[in-house]
Amino acid sequence: GAVVSQHPSRVICKSGTSVKIECRSLDFQATTMFWYRQFPKKSLMLMATSNEGSKATYEQGVEKDKFLINHASLTLSTLTVTSAHPEDSSFYICSASDRVGNLLHSYTQYFGPGTRLTVL
Amino acid sequence: GNSVTQMEGPVTLSEEAFLTINCTYTATGYPSLFWYVQYPGEGLQLLLKATKADDKGSNKGFEATYRKETTSFHLEKGSVQVSDSAVYFCALRDSGAGSYQLTFGKGTKLSVIP
pLDDT of B23 reads 97
Question: Rounded to whole angstroms, what are the CA distances from A89 to A17, A48, A81, A92, B19?
Answer: 13, 17, 10, 9, 34
Using pLDDT thresholds of 50, 70 and 90, give the confidence band for residue A104.
very low
Please give the Cα distance from B86 to A35 (Å, whole number).
Answer: 22
Please give the Cα distance from B1 to B96 (Å, whole number).
Answer: 13
Question: Which residue in A has a C-alpha nearest to residue B90's C-alpha?
Answer: A43
Do B44 and A97 lie within an 8 Å CB cutoff?
no
Of all residues in chain B, the percent with pLDDT exceeding 70 is 96
As a whole number, mean pLDDT of residues A14-28 equals 94
Q: Tell me, yes or no, if B95 comes closer than 8 A to chain A by beta carbon.
A: yes
Q: Tell me, yes or no, if B3 comes closer than 8 A to chain A by beta carbon.
A: no
pLDDT of A95 reads 93
pLDDT of A106 reads 52
- Average pLDDT, rounded, for chain B: 91
**Nearest Cα residue to A97 out of A34, A18, A55:** A34
- Average pLDDT, rounded, for chain A: 88
pLDDT of B77 reads 98
Q: Tell me, yes or no, if A111 comes closer than 8 A to chain B by beta carbon.
A: yes
Contacts 24+ apart (CB under 8 A), A97-102: A97/A30, A97/A31, A97/A32, A97/A33, A97/A34, A97/B100, A98/A2, A98/A25, A98/A28, A98/A29, A98/A30, A98/A31, A99/A31, A99/A32, A102/B97, A102/B98
Residue B91 pLDDT > 90: yes
Selecting from A4, A102, A113 the residue whose C-beta is nearest the C-beta of B42 gives: A113
Task: Pick the more confident residue, A12 or A107.
Answer: A12
Please give the Cα distance from A41 to A18 (Å, whole number).
Answer: 26
As a whole number, mean pLDDT of residues A10-15 equals 96
Residue B33 pLDDT > 70: yes
Please give the Cα distance from B37 to B51 (Å, whole number).
Answer: 18
Residue A19 pLDDT > 60: yes
As a whole number, mean pLDDT of residues A45-70 equals 90
Residues of A in contact with B95 (CB under 8 A): 104
Residues of A in contact with B105 (CB under 8 A): 43
Residue B30 pLDDT > 60: yes
Tens of pLDDT along B65-81?
999 999 999 999 999 99
Residues of B in contact with A113 (CB under 8 A): 42-43
Least confident of A37-41, B10-14, B15-19, B47-51: A37-41
Three state DSSP letters for chain B: CCEEEECCCCEEEECCCCEEECEEEECCCCCEEEEEEECCCCCEEEEEEECCCCCEEEECCEEEECECCCCECCEEECCCCHHHCEEEEEEEECCCCCCCCEEECCCEEEEEEC
pLDDT of B102 reads 87
Of all residues in chain A, the percent with pLDDT exceeding 70 is 91
Least confident of A25-34, A43-52, B7-16, B94-103: B94-103
Please give the Cα distance from B24 to B106 (Å, whole number).
Answer: 12
